[in-house]
Amino acid sequence: MSKTANPQKAEGVLIENTEIGVVVRQEIVSMIPPLLANIKDNYRILDLCAAPGSKTSEILDLMQAQNTINSLPRGCLVANDVNEKRCGTLNHQMARFAHPGFAVTCCDGSMLPEKLKYDLVFADVPCSGDGTIRKAFDIWKRWSYNDGVQLHRLQIKLLKKSLLLLKQSGHLVYSTCSLNPLENEAVVASILYEYPEKFELVPVKPPLGLIKNDGLTSWSVPIRRKDNSNYLDKSSKTEIASTDSAQSSIEQPQMSPAIKLLESLIN
55 labelled ligand-binding? yes
> What CA–CA distance (Å, rounded) separates 257 from 188?
9
- Residue 50 labelled as part of a binding site: yes
End-to-end alpha-carbon separation of the chain, Å?
Answer: 40
CA 200 to chain CA centroid, nearest Å: 17
The one catalytic residue in 76, 87, 127, 177 is 177
147 known member of a binding site: no
Query: Does 233 show up as a binding residue in the annotation?
Result: no
Nearest Cα neighbor of 180 from 211, 139, 152 is 152
DSSP class per residue in 49-68: T-TT-HHHHHHHHHHHTTS-
Residues in the chain: 267
Q: How many CB atoms lie within 10 A of CB 225?
A: 9
Query: Would the annotation count 136 as a binding residue?
Result: no
Q: Is 65 annotated as a binding residue?
A: no
Say whether 127 is catalytic.
no
Q: How many CA atoms are closer than 13 Å to the CA of 16, on its beta-carbon side? A: 6
Q: Are 138 and 128 in contact (CB under 8 A)?
A: no
> H-helix or E-strand containing 158?
helix 146-164
Measured in whole angstroms, the distance separating CA 254 from the mean position of its chain's CA atoms is 19
Annotated binding residue 81: yes
Judge whether 258 is annotated as a binding position.
no
Q: Which residues are catalytic?
A: 177
Binding site, residues? 49-55, 81, 108, 124
Binding site for S-adenosyl-L-methionine, residues? 49-55, 81, 108, 124
